Each structure stands twice: as C-alpha cells, then as structure tokens.
Amino acid sequence: MNIAVCLKQVLDASVPLRVVNGAVQQDAPRPIMRLGAADRTALAEALALRARCGGQVTAVSAGAADAVDALRYALARGVDRAVQMTGADPLDPVASALAAAVALVVGPDLVLCGNASGDGASGRFAAELAARLATPLVTRVAAITPAHGRHLWLERRLERGERERVRCPLPAVLAVEPALAEAGYVSLRALRAAALLPIEVQVAVPSGAEPLCELIALEPARPRPKRISAPAAGLSAMDRLTHAITGGMQHKRSGEFVEGAPAQVAAEIVRFLEERGFSGERRGGGNG
C-alpha cells in the first residue's frame, strides 16, 4: 500500500507567550515550530499501516524552512520518501500544492492528514485535498482497520462520545483525530541521520483553477449573553432595580451571629443544633 501523509508545522503551543506592541507572540528569540498533534497522529498511523500492510510512506509538506523541518522529522521517524513543495501561489490554498505533489509524485492508495491544523483549525484542508484528487473523504477518524481487498474499516468519532463505523474504498483521504496512534520516541542518532537523507523538491505549477473555497473573514466568536430572570410584576421600584443590578440572584443568609457571655453563646448554639436535629441524647457507650 502506497501511503502519503501531509504534514504542517505550527507554532509550538507549549512555549510561553508575551504581548509586544499589542500583538501576541512567543517568548523566544525566534518562532519555535513543531508538528501539530493531529499531524503527528497521521504520521504515526501511516507508519503503523505500513507495518501491517507493507508498501511505502511518503511525507509531503508545502513551504520553505518549516516544511524542511517537518520532513526531516518524518524521515527520522522512518518514512521512505520526503517531498517538499515550493513556489506555490500564495493566493491558492496550500491544499492545491499538496494535491499536485500527491497526485504527480506519489500516486498513493491512501492519503492521511490531520483533521484540523493546530493554528487555523478550520478543517478545510482535507476536504479541498480530497476534492482535488477526486477521492472519497472520511473525517474525524478514530480507528483504522485494513479489510480484504482495497477497502478499510474506519471508526469515526462523533458528538457526545458516539462512534460511527464505515467501510471506505481506496484510494481515499482520511482526516484523523489527534492521539489515534502514539508517536514513538525519536533518538538523536535518528535525527542526525535524517539530516543527511535527500528531500525531493517539487515546484508547484499553478493549475489556473479557481479555489474550491474562499475565506471571506476570520472573526472571534460573539460572547453568548447570559440569561436572567424577569422581575415579578408585583415588585416595588426598588426591588425591580435590585433585581436588575443583581441579575435576579437572591443572597441568602448563611447563618446567625450570636453575642454575649460564654454560657449564653453555648446555650444558643445548642438550641440551634437541636432545632435542626444535629444534637440529642447520646445513645449507649456512656461512662455513667
């Protein structure tokens, strides 16, 4: 089985942040990048499928230095080939460049990618990639089981913990959920060896096709207003004002404060406990 895995470097979320001139950036001399959790999962699952079914794994990434770092890591993990796409039109989606790389260089039976990137998290990449390749797409994949013939059994993670089991023909594009497969430890020796391995460089040729989707705006979510109860019609003006200020919350007294001589205070405490059933005669086990 020929498997392609699409990788993308994102800012490392574990690095502390700071605000500089009103902008939030990493508290580091230069940006620290790493593969997103979903992409690391896709890479681990691609290698696991190769171990079970045979074949080869090709890692594909678009960009410059960030793409090289991602591909070096993939080579250290054990992929058979690494392809870097450069020169893509910035107005075209990155999916177009990766689709060209996968279609023209790899010729895969299966393409794996993360369900959503660690930065934009739009989930658009897998859908556009599948459309460019004209292959089936299955998203939110939580488990992959090879079947007889050119099919896979897939388990999708739905809302509220539900699962959906589907049978998918090959070739196909799968968008996997994070932590589907645990990423193995990569030794320093493997990383050094990967630095000497070749990376194929392909120049993205503009296809002239219009983008399948167009980003119009990216805005923060509007805060959801809190629900408050309406004041009763019979309340006075002061009570209505209090209701509006407090949002209808009524503060209850949590206890009583007793002052006086020690004997008087003790008697009040005993009375308070007896009225609420917390105090009474001792049953058995006494000394008298």
Mean pLDDT, consecutive 10-residue segments, the chain of 288 residues? 89 77 74 84 92 92 83 93 74 59 73 82 82 89 88 90 91 87 77 90 65 67 73 76 68 65 87 75 48
Distance of CA 96 to the CA centre of its chain: 23
Phi, psi (deg, nearest 5) at residue 271: -60, -40
**DSSP 3-state of 46:** helix
pLDDT value of residue 213 = 63
pLDDT value of residue 288 = 46
How far apart (Å, rounded) are the C-alpha atoms in residues 33 and 30?
9
Pair of tokens at residue 44: 């681990």
Decide if 113 contacts 173 (C-beta within 8 A): yes
* Residue written as token pair 């859908």: 127
Pair of tokens at residue 222: 């509007």
pTM for the full predicted model: 0.67
- Helix residue ranges per DSSP H, the chain: 37-53, 65-77, 94-101, 124-133, 188-194, 237-246, 262-275
- Residue 8: C-alpha distances to residues 42, 111, 149, 230 (Å): 11, 14, 31, 51
pLDDT value of residue 175 = 94
Residues present in the chain in total: 288
What domains, with CATH codes, occur in the chain? 2-15+26-203 (3.40.50.620), 228-279 (no CATH)
Q: What is the DSSP letter of 233?
A: T
pLDDT value of residue 91 = 41
pLDDT value of residue 224 = 76
How far apart (Å, rounded) are the C-alpha atoms in residues 166 and 175?
14
